[in-house]
Amino acid sequence: MNAPIVSFNHVGKSFDVDGFELEAIHEFNLDIAEGEFVAIVGSSGCGKSTLLRLLVGLDTQFRGQISVDGQAVKGVGSERGIVFQEHRLFPWLSVADNIGLGLVNEPLSAAQKQQRINDFIDLVGLRDFTRAYPHQLSGGMAQRVAIARGLVASPRILLLDEPFGALDALTRQQMQDELLAIRERAKITTILVTHDVEEAIFLADRVVVMEPRPGRIKQLVDIALAHPRQRSSFDFHQLREELLHELTSDDHYQPSVPVQIRDLPLTFIAC
């Protein structure tokens, strides 16, 4: 690998929860090449969002070192853009103004900013909704606004935390196609957190499987399938089985069945 654009070296993170230390990340080591697409999968609470927050520079209290282009991360920077787990649009701002928030620290004139905002509104297909407010958008449209806001400052590294989690299956597939098209044009290094193994295989060059308590790397899986990837192909199916096995073979793995239902007697569920 050429010199990595992102490097996690012996990264650890603990939180103080009610006077107790909770180790959220344990000895995380990972190098990411320029232009690479890495997906991170793992059960809830294994530290995926925490890792992104550390890389984007929102939390600087951690063990080890995270570097971008060989420089230690010490805070936020416009070469790193993030799309959060919830879209976090401001309800009192229009689509254009929400996207414009991604440019507040950029040394651009008002006209240049407007041009950039318009370009990204076009990119995510929301030209007719430029002056709309978040409550006038569907969930998928709101997510597209959040993605445009993450991209508008032309980051070299894009961090996506479950960006399509709340979308229906069809919109989700459309958004995945759009993300690939955007990447094709902009060649951005991308790190995507997802619960969806199929999404990871469809998009990523490499998948990091995490395990919880404390959050750490369990397995790295290369996805050497050519694009465009066919979800119905044999190779895709085999990788899916392999990843699902990795995810569920954890002794601590808790299937995501709500406790109330799991604990009910079967006769009750049948009613």
Ligand X SMILES: Nc1ncnc2c1ncn2[C@@H]1O[C@H](COP(=O)(O)OP(=O)(O)OP(=O)(O)O)[C@@H](O)[C@H]1O
Residues that bind Mg ion (CB under 5 A): 49
- Contact region with ligand X (CB under 6 A), list: 47-55, 98-106, 139-147, 172-180: 47-55
Nearest residue (CB) to ligand X, 53 versus 156: 53
What is the nearest approach in angstroms of Mg ion to the Cβ of residue 29? 20
22 lies in the site for ligand X, by CB under 6 A:
yes
Restricted to residues 229-268, the positions that interact with ligand X (CB under 6 A) are none
Encoded tokens for 106: 């950029």
Nearest residue (CB) to Mg ion, 49 versus 114: 49
Strands of the sheet containing 189-193, edge to edge, are 80-83, 157-161, 189-193, 37-41, 206-211, 216-222
44 lies in the site for ligand X, by CB under 6 A:
yes
What is the nearest approach in angstroms of Mg ion to the Cβ of residue 193? 6
Distance CA 164, CA 173 (A): 9
Nearest residue (CB) to ligand X, 50 versus 143: 50
Rg of the chain, C-alpha, whole Å: 20
Nearest residue (CB) to Mg ion, 49 versus 154: 49
35 lies in the site for ligand X, by CB under 6 A:
no
Rounded to a whole number, what is the distance in angstroms from the first to the last CA of the chain?
A: 58
Among 3, 15, 119, 248, binds ligand X (CB under 6 A): 15
Phi, psi of 193 (to 5 degrees): -95, 130
Half-sphere exposure of 208 (CA within 13 A, CB side): 24
